[in-house]
Structure 1
Amino acid sequence: MIHFIVASHGPYARALLESSRMVYGELPHVRTVTLDEQRGIEGFKQDFAAVMAAAREGADGVLVLCDMQSGTPWNVACHYAFSPDCSPPVAVLAGVNLPILLLSDEVTEHTDVDTAATLLLEMAQPTLVKAAPVSSLTPDDF
């Protein structure tokens, strides 16, 4: 089973999880950790370590969904992902959004975290769309 951590600058991670509950329901395989100005980078590292310890319990892998590449949450998560002593394995993705978080439920039963990460990216790609006018109206009650 794959467990997830959503890591972000500010309250974004908690807000995504709260929004996912409103739209989808509980995602018991997801935990959050946030970088805030009061705790700073060192506090974030401590918080991340605690959340990672909890996420590892009973997991075949941990997939960390970060708000953006190369920020502190990404860098700290990559420290775990690229550590040869890290068990279970950790993978890291950047660009977390609500569709990706909701789709995480589709890959949680996998046992290989890299496969889960690849599948999640593939499933999430079509959720990025640009609005275009439609030629006919469709009812809202579909």
Structure 2
Amino acid sequence: MLHFIVASHGPLATALISSANMVFGELSNTTAICLTEEGGIEQFKQDFHHEITAIAPNVDGIVVLCDLECGTPYNVACTYAFNPDFNPKVEVVTGVNFPTLLMTADFVEEKDASSVATTLQQEALKTVVVAKPVELAQEDDF
């Protein structure tokens, strides 16, 4: 089983999960960790450590969905992903969006965090589109 952590600057992570719960229903094995101005970087590091170490013994892998590459949430998540002594495997995917978060529901029962992270990245690319008008064909059936 996998666990998904959404990590962001400000309340984005919490808002994404709240919106997903409204549209999809409760996303199991999904939590939010937010970097706040009030708490700052040190509080975020503590919150992240508390959450990931509480989750780790109960899952096969953890996928962290971050809002921005090289920001604090990403950098903190990568310290776990790149630590060979941390178990289970942690994968970090950046550029989280609403459709990608909804896709995670299909992967909770998976065991391979690396494979799921790659799939989410590939599928996320398909979720960014430019809207164009659709031409409707006129039917001649009167």
Counterpart of 1:140? none
Query: What 5-or-longer segments of structure 2 have no aligned partner?
Result: 138-142
* Residue in 2 that maps onto 1:45: 45
2:13 equivalent in structure 1: 13
* Percent identity over paired residues: 50
Q: Distance in 2 between matches of 1:59 and 1:100?
A: 21
Q: Provide the C-alpha distance between the structure 1 equivalents of 2:123 and 2:24, rounded to a whole number of angstroms.
A: 17
Matched, 1:79 2:79: yes
Q: TM-score, normalised by structure 2?
A: 0.92
- The runs of 5 or more residues in structure 1 that have no matched partner are 138-142
Equivalent runs, 1:92-103 vs 2, <5 Å = 92-103=92-103
Distance 1:63 1:97 in 2: 14
Return the offset for 1:122.
2.1
Q: Deviations over 1:33-80 (max 9, x none)?
A: 000011111110000011112322421000000001000000000000
| In structure 1, C-alpha distance between the alignment counterparts of 2:46 and 2:79, rounded to whole Å | 13
Let me know the Cα RMSD of the aligned residues.
1.1
Please name the residue that 2:68 is paired with.
68
Q: Does structure 2 conserve the Cα–Cα contact (< 8 Å) formed by 1:2 and 1:62?
A: yes
User: TM-score with structure 1 length normalisation?
Assistant: 0.92
